[in-house]
Structure 1
Amino acid sequence: MDAEDLFRKLSNGAKFDLKKFQYDAQKLQVIKPRPVVGPFPIQINSQNEIRKEKVDHEEEISELKLISSITADGNKKKQLSNKDIKNKEAALNQEKINRFRNQQKISVRGNDLPPPIENFEQLVTEYGVGQDIIDNLKNLGYSVPTPIQMQAIPVMLKNQQILACAPTGSGKTAAFLVPIIHHLKGPRRKGFRAVVVSPTRELAKQTYRECLKLSEGRNLRIHIISKASIAMKKFGPESSKRFDILITTPNRLVYLLQQDPPVISLANVKWLVIDESDKLFEASEDGFRDQLAVIYRACESENVRRALFSATHTPDVARWAHKNLKGLVSVTVGHRNTAADIVEQQLLFVGTEAGKLVAFRDIVRKGLTPPVLVFVQTKERAKELFNELLYDGINVDVIHADRTQLQRDNVVQSFRRGDIWVLICTELMGRGIDFKGVNLVINYDFPPSVISYIHRIGRTGRAGNPGKAITFFTENDTVNLRSIAQMVKDSGCEVPEYLLKLKKSSKRDRRKLEKKAPKRDRISTVPLCDIKKQKKLQQKIQATKRKKEKGNEDGPQASKKKKQKP
């Protein structure tokens, strides 16, 4: 019995749907094959092959119909053919651009998007950027553009407003300075035509130095507001508008704008750059949203363009930018609000506050490779830790808001030169400061937020150099512990499994922690009674000094009167 007989016996008495299984029926000769109408005969092999050939056949038929519908005019055929070729080339180019963006982890949204550059020479050939700017870039150490520079520079060169987010140490400063220097071309007597606003004086000075180097040979007049009293005289009405670029912090600029009449004019500003925009948009006591609104209104030119740059993304900034900035282009490098992959991260449980000092000294004992940045939550704790490490004989210094600007500048310069090995600081230094070759960041006090953690550890692992970050935590540091632990794991570092299973904290608790630092035990190992005695002794010494100074101010006549008294 062959297959056909078997099929007939099995199908005997069963209703067989010949239409549904016509190909099987034809193959088993239950029904006769139907002739195929058309210029392309179909050879029956298998059901999949038939379907494929049928689709091909239908596509060729539709192509023939398209060709037959066109008139015999040869020019018309040629025009249609060229259009198809152009469309196909455009699609292939776009596919290539998308593939390149994916390789560089660049995400971009907006209209009329320029393609990213692959090398700095493209800026010269495609955008007319001067070769001197490219040479200055290379002198700064940029041999090839970083991912944020690949996309942000072309966007700003096309005069498009931008919201950019890229990891710390990725070259954001050069990404917005290069287009500004190109657009301004050279000095003009029109007053400030570009303004860069930074949250801290240290970051403003760093941007100022980089701007001077990038604009070398252009004779642009670049200024930074160091003191408001000096700026009052410098930028007054008698200045003849001999300025081009202004780099400043918000408070000092707002002070000048709110004088009657205003000391400074921003009427001719073409570019307003907000560096560390997420920090400047904060509405808390530490934020600058009110000051930023004053600056925004002062840039009253119709042609002003705005650029917002930061290492972290916040929904508030994104909503405002999309609502108020026309034709906005959003550029993101990597995943939003993530730590750099080249930073080796470690979460270290130290038990209690007292355990932090033990853990720190253990790190020093095992071997400390300077330079090292240590973050604490308040200036009082910075002073306490400084005194403890000073007794240990460590080459250490401290920077906080109580120190004068001159002292802070000297400390930063000493740390850059390598004269200081360990620098203790508060959140003040967590934003944008670029210290070359920081090998280790220690979060002595747990960061108040995930964003703070990203910026803190971003002081190491910059410009492609590897780094390490150690974060101490106690039983009380549970609010952001799970989120930061997940981030550390996503970066490829080891994390204890129990940290990932912690209960997720509420949004209310997270916001509360951001506004107010938690109470912690003192760092100092000196008994509290001894500290109080020392304070009282210092107060007595200061009181004695004040009396002597007052006596010297009264002069010899006061002393004679005292002697004449019976």
Structure 2
Amino acid sequence: MIANDLFRKLSCGAKFSNKNRLPVKRKLENGSTTSLPKLKVCIKEETDTGRKVKASKVTKSLVATPVEDTRIKSEDSSSDDSGSEQENREQKKSAQQKKIVPPEKVELINQLRLNRLRNQHKIHVKKSRHSPEVPNVIESFDQLSTDYGVSNRLVANIQSCYSTPTPVQMQAIPILLKTHSLHACAPTGSGKTAAFLIPILHHLKKPMKCGFRALIICPTRELAKQTQREALRLGDEMNLRTHVIHMVDDPKKCDYSFASGRSYDILVTTPNRICYLLSQNPPKIDLSNIQWVVIDEADKLFEDSKNSFRDQLDTVLTACNNPSKTIALFSATQTRDVNLWVAKNVPNRIRFSIGLINGAVELVDQKLLFTGSESGKLLAFREMVAQGLHPPVLVFVQSKDRAQQLFTELIYDGLNVDVIHSDRTQRERDNVVRAFREGKIWILICTELMSRGIDFKGVNLVVNYDFPPSTISYVHRIGRTGRAGRPGKAVTFFTKDDTVNLKRFGEKMRPH
């Protein structure tokens, strides 16, 4: 259809007027066109294969329109904006990475980790209102040099004896390195001796000619000699002198005053001997320079018996008149008398325990054996021998007479057995202990003398031939086995007369 015909049909009946007609603009003349700047562009011509690129400068005149200018400007501005946004993101990310955690949050995190570590190793800390801040536990002996400045020589000696710290060492060593007084309760065989020797050796550092600077009190001479051996082993090549008082009746050999000219650094002794030297006129020992007082097996020293060392201990502490001394008490059990004495005399101490208080060693398989009567005990023991014993074996009896009677019975059975008690001379006792350690004696009959702190390596069986007089005695007796992470076994004989005492031992029994 012709366009004019279509227009006529659509505009049929319409009237047009020239009044409202829009003015027609004149066409621009050719000479009036505004010339825009010409751009010179360098164009690179690329071959079809794309391997060789020929660059040739070709000059072309391009008329830049306003639209193209606007587009170019917007691209430039958008690229600038995107670049600034990316920079802002990177700055925020780096700021977050460098964000400093508040000190309160760091302290809270460290405290939660410390509590978890203590719970894991069953370390229960109890502070008094006068107690100082409790130091953190150590997880390895390497921390002693990095955190506390312990010498490399001492750390090497420690690592030659122990691989990792035991729970009592984890908490006791940092406390004593800070020279805080301490009351610790830990099972037998848990490494208490090294827990107080390591801080003492660190602080004494080297020998000095000013008298004794550390005093370690033990209930028996056997335990004192064992402590001396451990001090010599840990203090190898440090030249610190550790002494045990052997005799007090020789005026020349037992004079430890300044006038004697004899100089030692560490004294390990029993309360009886040191009190005797202090009672002489003039005193044969000077304790005015004592910086460390360690009471090992404190529960034994405070027992209510004729051999109680409580009064003697007060005399010794009075002689140690250095106001800056550090006092440390270690034991396997806790009693009310010990706690009262410590609260009175060492108010600023830190107190902690390992595991169940007054509990038996978890590695010991405990067994009760009913024998009916006293005569049945010997039959029961012979039956155990017939079934096969795994030496070394410790047999505990109630008195020296009972020990000698049982020894007489067993020696005629052809058993490799010996006996130790306080009626034997010191030389005989030393020889028996040495033979038992070397495996020359398989069965050793002993009284309560050997139940306190003596460390026999690898005791497989403890036999309570006579029923223990107290739960504390029971814990110490069976603590001769199951030491240093090794399992052990304990068998307790009881008769009809002992049944009344079984109830109070129920909590201590841990049969496997």
TM-score bracket for the superposition, by shorter chain length: 0.7 to 0.9
Shift of 1:326: 3.6
Q: Which residue identity does 2:309 align to in structure 1?
A: F
Match status 1:89 vs 2:106: yes
Shift of 1:283: 4.1
What SS is found at the alignment partner of 2:352?
strand
C-alpha distance in 1 between matches for 2:268 and 2:196: 13
C-alpha distance in 1 between matches for 2:226 and 2:158: 16
Matches within 5 A, 1:229-378: 229-230=249-250, 232-233=252-253, 234-240=255-261, 242-378=263-399
Q: Which residue identity does 1:106 align to in structure 2?
A: I
Shift of 1:325: 1.2
Are the aligned partners of 1:204 and 1:248 in contact in 2 as well (CA < 8 Å)?
A: yes
Are the aligned partners of 1:232 and 1:263 in contact in 2 as well (CA < 8 Å)?
A: no
Against the structure 1 CA distance between its residues 324 and 411, is the aligned structure 2 distance closer, same or farther, given a 3 Å change threshold? same
Q: What is the match of residue 179 of structure 1?
A: 199
Q: What is the match of residue 222 of structure 1?
A: 242
Matches within 5 A, 1:491-510: 491=510, 493=511
C-alpha distance in 2 between matches for 1:423 and 1:485: 27
Match status 1:210 vs 2:260: no
Q: What is the match of residue 53 of structure 2?
A: none
What SS is found at the alignment partner of 2:353?
strand
C-alpha distance in 2 between matches for 1:243 and 1:427: 31
Q: What is the match of residue 193 of structure 1?
A: 213
What SS is found at the alignment partner of 1:438?
coil
C-alpha distance in 2 between matches for 1:371 and 1:144: 27
C-alpha distance in 1 between matches for 2:266 and 2:478: 31
Are the aligned partners of 2:258 and 2:286 in contact in 1 as well (CA < 8 Å)?
A: no
**Partner of residue 106 from structure 1, selected from 100, 123, 131:** 123
Deviation per CA, 1:502-540: give whole Å up to 9, x if none: xxxxxxxxxxxxxxxxxxxxxxxxxxxxxxxxxxxxxxx
Q: What is the match of residue 521 of structure 1?
A: none
Shift of 1:231: 7.0
Matches within 5 A, 1:525-536: none
Are the aligned partners of 1:398 and 1:423 in contact in 2 as well (CA < 8 Å)?
A: yes
What SS is found at the alignment partner of 2:199?
helix
Deviation per CA, 1:248-294: give whole Å up to 9, x if none: 01100100011000000000000000000011122420211111111
C-alpha distance in 2 between matches for 1:154 and 1:484: 35
Q: What is the match of residue 167 of structure 1?
A: 187
Q: CA RMSD in A?
A: 1.5
Q: Which residue identity does 1:107 align to in structure 2?
A: H
Against the structure 1 CA distance between its residues 358 and 413, is the aligned structure 2 distance closer, same or farther, given a 3 Å change threshold? same
C-alpha distance in 1 between matches for 2:504 and 2:473: 12
C-alpha distance in 2 between matches for 1:109 and 1:317: 15
C-alpha distance in 2 between matches for 1:226 and 1:102: 43
Moved over 6 A (4+): none
Q: What is the match of residue 19 of structure 2?
A: none
Unaligned runs of 5+ in 2: 1-98
C-alpha distance in 2 between matches for 1:486 and 1:181: 38
**Partner of residue 446 from structure 1, selected from 457, 467, 491:** 467
C-alpha distance in 1 between matches for 2:206 and 2:494: 52
Deviation per CA, 1:120-146: give whole Å up to 9, x if none: 000110001112212212222x10000
What SS is found at the alignment partner of 1:116?
coil
Match status 1:437 vs 2:458: yes
Shift of 1:241: 5.1
Matched-pair identity in %? 57
Shift of 1:115: 0.5
Q: What is the match of residue 150 of structure 1?
A: 170
Q: What is the match of residue 417 of structure 1?
A: 438
Against the structure 1 CA distance between its residues 198 and 354, is the aligned structure 2 distance closer, same or farther, given a 3 Å change threshold? same
Q: Which residue identity does 1:316 align to in structure 2?
A: D
Deviation per CA, 1:189-218: give whole Å up to 9, x if none: 110000000000100000011011111111
Deviation per CA, 1:530-553: give whole Å up to 9, x if none: xxxxxxxxxxxxxxxxxxxxxxxx
Match status 1:135 vs 2:156: yes
Q: What is the match of residue 146 of structure 2?
A: 125
Q: Which residue identity does 2:126 align to in structure 1?
A: R
Shift of 1:487: 1.8
Unaligned runs of 5+ in 1: 1-80, 495-566
Question: TM-score normalised to the size of structure 1?
Answer: 0.71
Q: Which residue identity does 2:365 align to in structure 1?
A: E
C-alpha distance in 1 between matches for 2:208 and 2:347: 27
Question: Which of 1 and 2 has greater Rg?
Answer: 2
C-alpha distance in 2 between matches for 1:409 and 1:320: 33
What SS is found at the alignment partner of 1:144?
coil
The structure whose residues are more often helix, as a share, is 1
Q: What is the match of residue 545 of structure 1?
A: none
C-alpha distance in 1 between matches for 2:320 and 2:418: 40
Are the aligned partners of 1:180 and 1:194 in contact in 2 as well (CA < 8 Å)?
A: yes
Shift of 1:484: 1.5
C-alpha distance in 2 between matches for 1:192 and 1:277: 21
Against the structure 1 CA distance between its residues 273 and 406, is the aligned structure 2 distance closer, same or farther, given a 3 Å change threshold? same
What SS is found at the alignment partner of 2:477?
helix
Q: Which residue identity does 2:314 align to in structure 1?
A: A
Q: Which residue identity does 1:322 align to in structure 2?
A: A
Match status 1:475 vs 2:492: no
Q: What is the match of residue 530 of structure 1?
A: none
Q: What is the match of residue 93 of structure 2?
A: none
C-alpha distance in 2 between matches for 1:235 and 1:343: 43
Q: What is the match of residue 426 of structure 2?
A: 405
Are the aligned partners of 1:434 and 1:459 in contact in 2 as well (CA < 8 Å)?
A: yes
What SS is found at the alignment partner of 1:345?
strand
Greater displacement, 85-94 / 222-231: 222-231
Shift of 1:415: 0.3
C-alpha distance in 1 between matches for 2:285 and 2:192: 27
Q: Which residue identity does 1:336 align to in structure 2?
A: I
Against the structure 1 CA distance between its residues 393 and 194, is the aligned structure 2 distance closer, same or farther, given a 3 Å change threshold? same
Are the aligned partners of 2:216 and 2:295 in contact in 1 as well (CA < 8 Å)?
A: yes
Question: TM-score normalised to the size of structure 2?
Answer: 0.78
Deviation per CA, 1:398-424: give whole Å up to 9, x if none: 001110000000000000000000000
Are the aligned partners of 2:211 and 2:258 in contact in 1 as well (CA < 8 Å)?
A: no
Shift of 1:230: 4.5
